[in-house]
Chain A
Amino acid sequence: MDLLGHLSGRSIAIVLGDGGVGKTTVAAALAAMSAASGRRVLAVTVDPSNRLKDSLGLSGTPGVEEEVPLRDFAPAPGGSLRAMVLDAATELDRVVREASPSDEVRRRITENVFYRKAASRMTGTHEYMAFTRLSDALASGRHDLVVLDTPPERHALDFLDAPARLDSLLGNDAFRLFVSASAGLSRAGLEAIRLRRLVLRGIGRFAGEETFLQVLDFVLAFSPLYEHFRVRAARVKDLFASPACATVLVCRPNPARCPEAGGAGPADALRARGIEPVAVVANRVLVWPPPEAGGAGTGGGGAGPADAASVKDALSSEPALGLYDRDMVSALAGRILGLAGRYRERAEEDAARVTALREAVAPAPVHVVPGLREEVRDLASLARFARVMRGAA
């Protein structure tokens, strides 16, 4: 099955991977190909590089859907591609505005010093806003497929754990007691007061009581919104595990880019969270022969390694190089052999890593996308990347 096949019949595609593996490009190519096959697709991305914004022709105004033309992708009728860029701070403000039961609550939150200085950097904020947009977009019924390029977290799987983390914080009994405004005369209430005092005294020694009170103030100001957050986080958790959702894992064959390939596979980590990845994409893999060499050329030796003599012979007798003198052609042959040798060395290393990756993620299929000479910088080059990716076995 080609990569696109994994997405048919699904309404959400979550593209996961560590930063710098080409995850955003893979997500954009998947979205564009699905749109070209006739589906109405929304691509959602968080803080993309300028190059990607440029390549999709987006202005990058946060939270606004923008139409992306499909002419480079041989589109079938009926399909459309929209893309949206999210920004942490703007999105958090929006969520607070929407979820606040009153202006008073909203003001208390947004004017709190911790909210202003640090809320958009707090753990879980990126994930949360991506979730809310995702579920809003699905509920609107205007899209057949939403492709979510996940935020560049330190670890790909942090993203999946965010709803559970939020749920476990907000659903915690001690927490509920702690923030409960109605700490009356009930036993639980008394317990809460006792706990509160102890904790305050302890933390006071650690951080200064005033500090903790400020933070607590923020927590309390936020409390009317917790239920709202919790419900949505729980909904997203269910969504991840539902059959409507396809999870695609992107990695590089470089061990540093795919740290789990050796040990417990990333797919295992997903499975432990109740998610079966539909596909793993090994991106920018050096393969021999290079894809640019294609099926071109004639005669002997297939695509195996060429030795020094045959490279020199072929270049010396190459009509296109007839104008250059013998020494120059021979220097070129030497240099080509050196560079090609290094390429082959890397390609062999990559092949071994891909084998290890296949074992680590089985039975999830691994699609090997060869590294291309050309960088993706506009829709035309994205379309070329997409074609190579689609053909990836």
Chain B
Amino acid sequence: MIPDSIGLTSTPVKAKQTANPIRPPRLTFLMGKGGVGRSTVAAAMGLALSRRGLRTLVVETSARQAVPAMFERRAAGYDPVECAPGLHCLRVTWEDALREYGVMKLRFRALYRLVFENPFVRRLLPAVPGVPEILVIGKIAYCATDGVPGIGTPDAVVVDAPATGHGLSLVTAPAVVADTVPAGPLAEDARRLRAVLLDSAFTRFHIVTTPEEMPVSEGIDLHGELSLRHGLPFGPVIVNAFQDLALPGQEREMARLAAASSSAPRGVLAAVQAALFMDARHRAQTAHLDRLKTVVPLPVVRLPEVPGAAGGRVKGLADHIDAVLWREAR
């Protein structure tokens, strides 16, 4: 399940920053803090890609799948679910990946059961740093290079990576394992995987964030770790749920004066305060994005807050992503 047919050497290639990507890559990782709407962005990106005629696979890494429900489909565990024409969704967990990999390496299901379904091994393995991660990232890379039974090799794979810390462990696992583990089958696979992730013609990472303090801070840390330290290829930062309306400077002053009014009806005062709230939110969000831009040398694409139910949000976001991400970056 770990790709060995893609013809890459085990020497890591020097990663290039893809500043204004025009074409979607084969393998896209969406990284970022929990709760920023990463799954929604993954679903929307998958939908946008499939509308371009690319056979697309959205990979989720948490046990509870979120994407199928956004298309009113039922999750099917380890089997891919067709969410829209040309768009499939798949869940990859380390247990599933272990079963697949274990059976392959050990050749016999019975031996797999004896070894990997041993209660102690089942508990120890996930505690060994890098092991569950390397299984999951290996399966994901394999989906992109060799395909998925039943749907073939997709043109594009979008990975909704786990939240910050776990996501970091996932995509750095090949490097960590290649550096810590002595020579052997695992180290060999890890080196090959590292080369796939470093290949900017094949793979691209995006930070997904909301314009808020903690998500931006974690995004900055992620970029520092993954791009600066590990050399992974990054595309634009995707800022989700940006509140784009504001009061121009003088009107803000006027609104403040009006808010202190002693004669205005309560309904009007509420409207003024609500406007000041949204304006303050816009400015706080802009300040967080400015902080991001001073530290992270990547273009930033902003997606608006799309109200309504999940399904409608995904379709709305897909249009925005298609318009801003691959043709030009603002």
Residues of chain A having any CB pair with chain B under 8 Å: 18-21, 49, 51, 113-114, 117-119, 121-124, 152, 154, 168-169, 172, 174-175, 178, 195, 198-199, 201-203, 205-211, 214-215, 219, 252, 254-257, 259, 286, 288-290, 292-293, 296-306, 310-311, 314-315, 317-321, 324, 328-329, 331-332, 335-340, 342-346, 349, 371, 373, 375
**With A118-B129, A175-B120, A314-B258 given, can you name 15 additional A-B contacts, CB distance below 8 Å?**
A19-B33, A19-B34, A21-B35, A124-B127, A172-B120, A175-B119, A205-B105, A208-B182, A293-B272, A300-B267, A321-B254, A321-B258, A328-B254, A335-B251, A345-B307
Q: How far is the CB of A215 from chain B (nearest CB, A)?
A: 5
* Cβ-defined contact, A211 with B254, below 8 A: no
B180 within 8 A of A: yes
The 8 Å CB contact of A122, one of B115, B129, B181, B262, is B129
The interface bits of chain B over 256-270 (1 if a CB of A lies within 8 angstroms of the residue's CB, else 0) are 011111111111111
30 inter-chain pairs at a CB distance below 8 angstroms, sorted by A residue, are A113-B180, A114-B180, A123-B126, A154-B34, A175-B124, A202-B106, A203-B121, A206-B105, A208-B182, A256-B40, A299-B265, A300-B265, A301-B266, A302-B266, A306-B271, A310-B265, A315-B258, A315-B268, A320-B260, A320-B261, A321-B254, A328-B254, A335-B247, A335-B251, A342-B245, A343-B275, A343-B278, A349-B307, A371-B277, A373-B280
* Cβ-defined contact, A318 with B129, below 8 A: no
* Cβ-defined contact, A314 with B278, below 8 A: no
* Cβ-defined contact, A175 with B123, below 8 A: yes
Residues of chain B having any CB pair with chain A under 8 Å: 33-37, 39-40, 62, 64, 66, 101-102, 105-106, 111-112, 114-116, 118-121, 123-124, 126-131, 162-166, 169, 176, 180-187, 212-215, 217, 243, 245, 247-248, 250-251, 254-255, 257-281, 284, 305, 307, 310
Q: In the bound complex, what is the Cα–Cα distance between A355 and B73 (angstroms)? A: 25
* Cβ-defined contact, A340 with B254, below 8 A: no
A interface majority secondary structure: helix
Q: In the bound complex, what is the Cα–Cα distance between A181 and B129 (angstroms)? A: 24
Q: How far is the CB of A81 from chain B (nearest CB, A)?
A: 23
* Cβ-defined contact, A174 with B267, below 8 A: no
Q: Which residues of B contact A292 (CB under 8 A)?
A: 259, 273, 276-277
Q: In the bound complex, what is the Cα–Cα distance between A292 and B278 (angstroms)? A: 12
In the complex with contacts A206-B102, A207-B181, A208-B183, A174-B119 CB distance below 8 A = yes
The 8 Å CB contact of B262, one of A172, A203, A298, A345, is A298
Q: How far is the CB of B117 from chain A (nearest CB, A)?
A: 11
Q: In the bound complex, what is the Cα–Cα distance between A124 and B106 (angstroms)? A: 30
